[in-house]
Amino acid sequence: MAIIEVNNLSKTFKVKLKEKGLKGSLKSIFKPKYKVIKAVKNINFEVEKGEMIAFIGPNGAGKSTTIKMLTGILYPDKGDIKVLDIDPKKERKKLAYNIGTVFGQKEQLWTHLTPYDNFKFFGAIYDIPEVRVEKKINELKELFELDEFINTPVRNLSLGQRIRCEIVASLIHEPKVLFLDEPTIGLDPVVKENIRTLIKRMNKEYKTTIFLTSHDVGDIEKLCKRVIIINNGQVVLDDSMENLKYHYLNKKIVEAKMKEKVNLDDEEGITILKDKGYNLKIEVDTKKRSVADALKLLNPDNIVDINISNMPLEDIISTIYKNEADK
Amino acid sequence: MRKYLFIFKSELMSNLQYVFNIFVGFFGYFIMLFILFNLWKYMYSDPNELINGYNMSQMTWYVIITEILWMTLGGRKLCRKICNDVRGGNIAYNLNKPYNYIGYCLSGHLGSIAIKGLIYTVLGMIMGFIFLGNFPDLNIFSILAVLITGILATAISILLITFIGLFSFIIEDANPFYWLYGKVILILGTVFPIEYFPTFLQPFLTFSPIYVVSYGPAKLFVDFSFGTFASVLLAQIIYLFIGYLLCTLMYRKGVKNLNVNGG
Amino acid sequence: MLTAVKNQFKISFLTIKYALMREMLNKVTFITNIIFMILNNASFIVQWIVLYSLKDNVGGYTFKQVLLLWGMAAGTYGVSRFFFKKAFSLSEIINNGKLDSYLVQPKNVLLSAITTDVEPSALGDLLYAYIMLFLFGCTFEKFLLFTMFIITGGLMLTAIAVILGSLSFWFNKTDIIADVGNSLTTNFATYPDGIFKGIVKGLLYTLIPVGIINYIPIQVLTEFNLGLTLIVIGFTIFLVTLAFVIFFKGLKKYSSSNLMIARI
C-alpha cells in the first residue's frame, strides 16, 4: 500500500519584485510587479510503507517546495496529495499527528531547556499522556544514545547532539512517516556517520517510512534504497538505488600509478580524466571497451599500483543533472 | 573642518534611501500633534484667551517645534551607537584615525538626520497651518533666528547625548542614563513651555539644557524678540562649549583607561 | 472538541511559561526592564498634573479617571505585549517563512506563533495598571471588572495586530502599515475621549476602537453599566473571530521561505 501518493502536483510562486529607492518603494505598494516562478510542475510519485526514499535535486529544483506541500506547510496550486490517506490541504492537524519532520536548518527545540523538557513539551503538543511520554523518552534515549546530555540545556550541546535531539523530538508521537530535510547539514563526517546509523536503526525498529532530502551523497547512498531526482520542478528519475548504480555501473574509474610515463589520448570508450605523467585516472565505458582492453593500453608490466572502482554516486547524480540541463 | 563636512555629506547621502521610512515615521508625529492640537482646543475655551502668556495657536506651534526637534534628533540610536563603539572596541580602532571622535560623532549624526529634519520641518509647517489656519507673527529675522537656534539646539543635544554615551567607559551600559535624560526633556521640555511649571521650578528649567535644546527655538518661533534671541543664543554658545568640553574630557579619560587595559 | 480546546490552552500556557523562563535567565535585565517601564509610565503623570492645574476637568475626565485611563492603557498594552508579543511582528514572521515549524504541529498555528515570545517590560505595564487602579479606588468588584477589561482590551489589540500583520500574506511592505496601525491605538489610548469630536470620535469607536478598548471600560468602572460591558465583550469576540478568519484565509497564500530565496 502506498503511504504517500502524489498526483499532478504543481505549485507556482508569485515573487514580488522590488525596485530600489523611494520611487521603487511607492511603486511596489501601489503597482507591485511580479515574477512568476513555477517551482513544481506536475509531478507524480508514490512511496511505499517502510521505505527509505531519497528525494534529491540541485538548489531551487523544487524539493523544499514539494516536501513543504507534503507536510502541510504550503498549499498546492494543483494536484492531489495523500499522505497516509490524509489530504494535507484539508486535514493539516490530523496529518501532523501522524508525521514527523526534521528540518536541519531550522530548530524547533527551546534552546534554554534540556532535551528532556523539550521532549515533554512535544509530548504535550501531540496530546500524549504523561506515562506514555516518559516511556517513549526512555526508549528513544537508549536508541539515540542521549543519556549523557539529556539533562543539559540544548544551547550547550554540540550540533550533532542537537540534531539527534531534533530527531528524537520528532519521534515522540510515533509518526508513521518521517520527513528529514538535510538532517546532516553542517556536521562533521564522524557525526554524520553516527546520525545515519541511528536513522537506519530507527527505521528498522519502528518501520517508519523515511522521506529524505539531502545534498550529501553519503546520506543517500548509506540510507536509501530508492531515489527520486527532481530538477526544474520535474521528476527526472525515479528508480531504485541498485538500478541507478547499475545504469551507470558500466562506467569504471581506473586509477593507476605507473613506472614510466605513458601517452594516452581519448578514444572510443576511454576518457582521460587526469594525466599527470606517472599518475593516471581514466574512465572506461565497459559497454564499449572492456577493462582488460584499457589495462592493455597501459601496459600491465608498467603498473605500480592500481585501483578500479565504480563511478561515485555524486558524479552519477551530477551527470544526470547536467544531462537534464542539456536537454 | 573639511573632513567633518565630508563625513556630514556622506552620512546625508547614505540616508537618502530611507526617505520613504521618514515619511511613514512622520505619520506618527502627525497623530501625536493632532491629539495635542485637540487637547489645546479643548483646554482653551476661547482661542484668544491667554494661559501663562500663550494663546491657543502659540501653544500648538510651540509643541510642533519642540516635537520636530525631538523627533528629528534620533537620540536613542546615537547613544546606542556610541555605547557600542565603546563596548565593542570601535573606539580603539578610531584612535589612530586623523580625526577627533567628538567631531566625527557630531558631523556624522547631523548628516544622518539632516534630511529627516528638513522633511519634518516642511511637513510640520504645512500641518500646523492646516490645523490652525495661521502662522505666528514671523519676519525674516525670526525665521533666521529659529533656524540658527534650532540647528544649535540639535548640535547641543548631540553633544550631550555623546557625553552620556561615553559614560559607558565607566559603567557597563549607559543607555538607561540616556533614557532618563530623554524622559526629562520630553516631560519638562516638550509639551509645555517653561512658564507652565510652578514658579519655584522655573529658574532651574531656565538654566537646564531644556532652555537651549527645546524651549529656546520654539519660544522664538511663537513669540520673537531680539532680547530672547540674544539670551538663547548666548546660552547655546555656553552650552555648546560646555558640552564639547565634557565630551572631550570624558573621551580622554576613557581612552587613557583603554590604553592601560590594553584595549 | 472540549479536550482539544483544553489541550490547546495547555500548550499555549506551556509556551508562554517557557518563553518567560528564557527571559528570566538574565535576572538583572529582566527586573530592570520591568522597573523602567513603571517609571516610564509614571513620568507622564507630570503632564496631567500641569493640565489639571489649569482645569478641574479635561475632556470630561477627573484627574483620578485619567489615572485610571493610563492604567487601562498600560494594562491592555501589557496583556497584548506580554502574552502575544509576536503578534506585533507577524509581518516579519510571515515574510521570513517562520510559520513552518508551527504548521507541522497539530495545534493552532496562529496561537503557537504569537505566544512563542514574551515581553518582560510588559509586566511593568501590568503592575503599573494595577497601581493606577488602586489610586483610582479599588473594590473587589472593580478589581474583577478591571482585570476583565484589560484582558478584553489586550485581546482586541492583539486581534488588530494580527489583522494588520496578516496583510503580509497578500501585500508587500505592509509591516510599516502594521506598525503605524498598532501605534495609533496606543497614541489615542492615553487621552480622554472628550477632547475629540466629529469624525475622529466616530473613528475611535469603529476603525481605531480605542473607545471600546479604553473609554467604555473607564465609564463602566466609574459607574457600572451592563449594556456597555456587553458591548465590550461582544466587540472583543467579533474582533478576535475576524482576526482568526483573516489569518487562516491568508495562510493559504503562505509561501514559507521560498520568496526569500527568490529575492536573492
State the nearest Cα–Cα gap between A128 and chain B, in angstroms.
Answer: 46
Among B28, B35, B191, beta carbon nearest to C180: B28
Task: Tell me the mean pLDDT in the region C219-231.
Answer: 96
Answer whether C26 touches A (CB < 8 Å): no
Cβ burial, residue A126 (10 Å; 0-12/13-18/19+): buried
pLDDT of B2 reads 83
Which residues, at least 6 apart from B17, have a Cβ–Cβ distance to it below 8 Å?
Answer: A20, A21, A22
pLDDT of A241 reads 85
* Interchain contact, B20 vs A20, CB within 8 Å: no
- Are the CB atoms for B263 and B242 separated by under 8 Å? no
Task: Tell me the mean pLDDT in the region C207-213.
Answer: 95
Calculate the average pLDDT of chain C. Answer: 92
Which residues, at least 6 apart from C164, have a Cβ–Cβ distance to it below 8 Å?
Answer: C90, C91, C174, C177, C178, C181, C182
Among C54, C187, C195, beta carbon nearest to B51: C54
Among C36, C43, C58, beta carbon nearest to B187: C43
Q: Domains in chain A: how many in total? A: 2
Q: Is residue A200 part of a domain?
A: yes
Collect all residues from A whose CB is shorter than 8 A from any CB in B: 20-22, 25-26
* Interchain contact, B19 vs A22, CB within 8 Å: yes
Find the closest chain B residue to C183 by CA distance: B28
* Interchain contact, C58 vs B43, CB within 8 Å: yes
Distance CA B73, CA B62 (A): 17
Answer whether C195 touches A (CB < 8 Å): no
B67 lies in which domain range?
2-260
- Are the CB atoms for C85 and C20 separated by under 8 Å? no
C140-166 and C121-136 helices, crossing angle to 10°: 140
CA angle (B179 as vertex; B174, B181 as ends), nearest 5: 95
Q: Domains in chain B: how many in total? A: 1
Write out the three cell numbers for C109.
498555528
* Interchain contact, A26 vs B19, CB within 8 Å: no
Cβ burial, residue C145 (10 Å; 0-12/13-18/19+): middle
Find the closest chain A residue to C106 by CA distance: A93
* Interchain contact, C107 vs A16, CB within 8 Å: no
- Are the CB atoms for A63 and A215 separated by under 8 Å? no
* Touching chains, C (3+ CB pairs < 8 A): A, B
* Interchain contact, C44 vs B41, CB within 8 Å: no
CATH number of the domain residue A101 falls in: 3.40.50.300
Tell which residue, B69, A187, A253, B192, has the closest CA to residue C51: B192
- Are the CB atoms for B162 and B175 separated by under 8 Å? no
Distance CA A47, CA B243 (A): 74
Among C32, C183, C188, beta carbon nearest to B28: C183
Confidence band of C250 (pLDDT split at 50, 70, 90): very high
pLDDT, tens digit (0-9, with 9 covering 90-100), for C45-99: 999 999 999 999 999 999 999 999 999 999 999 999 999 999 999 999 998 889 9
pLDDT, tens digit (0-9, with 9 covering 90-100), for A278-302: 888 888 888 788 888 888 877 778 8
Query: What stretches of chain A adopt beta strand conformation (E)?
Result: 2-17, 33-48, 52-56, 78-83, 99-103, 177-181, 209-213, 226-231, 234-240, 251-258, 270-276, 279-285, 303-310
Write out the three cell numbers for B221.
518661533
State the nearest Cα–Cα gap between C259 and chain A, in angstroms.
Answer: 6
- Residues forming a β-bridge with A231: A234
pTM here? Answer: 0.88
Percent of chain C with pLDDT over 90: 83
* Touching chains, B (3+ CB pairs < 8 A): A, C
State the nearest Cα–Cα gap between B21 and chain A, in angstroms.
Answer: 9
Calculate the average pLDDT of chain A. Answer: 86
Percent helix, strand and coil across chain C, each to the nearest 5 = 80, 0, 20
pLDDT of B261 reads 56
Task: Tell me the mean pLDDT in the region A178-185.
Answer: 89
Q: Is residue A165 part of a domain?
A: no
Residue type for position B229: F
Among C21, C171, C258, beta carbon nearest to A13: C258
Tell me the three state secondary structure of residue A267.
strand
Same domain, A258 and A320: yes
Q: Taking CB atoms and an 8 Å cutoff, what residues of chain A touch B19?
A: 22
- Residues forming a β-bridge with A21: none
Among C18, C104, C263, beta carbon nearest to A71: C104
Residue with cell 535535486: A57
Same domain, A219 and A232: yes
State the nearest Cα–Cα gap between A197 and chain C, in angstroms.
Answer: 26
Collect all residues from A whose CB is shorter than 8 A from any CB in C: 13, 15-16, 18, 25, 28-29, 32, 35, 37, 39, 60, 64-65, 68, 71-75, 92-94, 96-97, 99, 101, 103, 106, 108, 110, 112-113, 121, 124-127
Residuewise pLDDT in 10s, chain B (263 residues): 788 888 888 888 777 777 878 888 899 899 999 999 999 999 998 888 999 999 999 999 999 999 999 999 989 999 999 998 888 777 777 767 777 889 999 999 999 999 999 999 999 999 999 999 989 988 999 999 999 999 999 999 999 999 999 988 888 778 888 988 999 999 999 999 999 999 999 999 999 999 999 999 999 999 999 999 999 999 999 999 999 999 999 998 888 877 655 54
CB neighbourhood size of B21 (10 A): 14
pLDDT of C264 reads 29
Residue with cell 564522524: A190
Question: What is the SS3 assignment for B212-232?
Answer: HHHHHHHHHHHCCCHHHHHHH
Q: Taking CB atoms and an 8 Å cutoff, what residues of chain A touch B17?
A: 20-22
Same domain, A237 and A182: yes
Same domain, A281 and A208: no
> At residue A214, what are phi and psi to the nearest 5 degrees?
-165, 150
A319 lies in which domain range?
250-326
Domain map (residue ranges) of chain C: 2-263
* Interchain contact, B17 vs A26, CB within 8 Å: no
- Chosen from B20, B21, B119 to mutate, greatest number of chain A CBs within 10 A: B20
Answer whether C104 touches A (CB < 8 Å): yes
Q: Is residue A258 part of a domain?
A: yes
> At residue A282, what are phi and psi to the nearest 5 degrees?
-130, 150
Distance CA A313, CA A214 (A): 13
State the nearest Cα–Cα gap between B144 and chain C, in angstroms.
Answer: 31
Least confident piece of the model among A36-40, A52-56, A81-85, C43-47: A36-40
Q: Taking CB atoms and an 8 Å cutoff, what residues of chain C touch A110?
A: 18, 22
CA distances for C227 relative to B33, C76, C201, C213, C224, angstroms: 34, 21, 20, 15, 9
* Interchain contact, C32 vs B176, CB within 8 Å: yes
Least confident piece of the model among A71-85, A206-220, B48-62, B138-152: A206-220
Tell which residue, A172, A178, A169, has the closest CA to residue A200: A178
Q: Is residue A318 part of a domain?
A: yes
Among C18, C101, C172, beta carbon nearest to A108: C101
State the nearest Cα–Cα gap between B71 and chain A, in angstroms.
Answer: 21
Tell me the three state secondary structure of residue B154.
helix
pLDDT of C142 reads 96
**Which is it for strands A303-310 and A251-258: parallel, antiparallel or unpaired?**
antiparallel
Radius of gyration (Cα) for chain B, nearest Å? Answer: 19
- Are the CB atoms for C165 and C90 separated by under 8 Å? yes
Q: Taking CB atoms and an 8 Å cutoff, what residues of chain B touch C176?
A: 21, 24
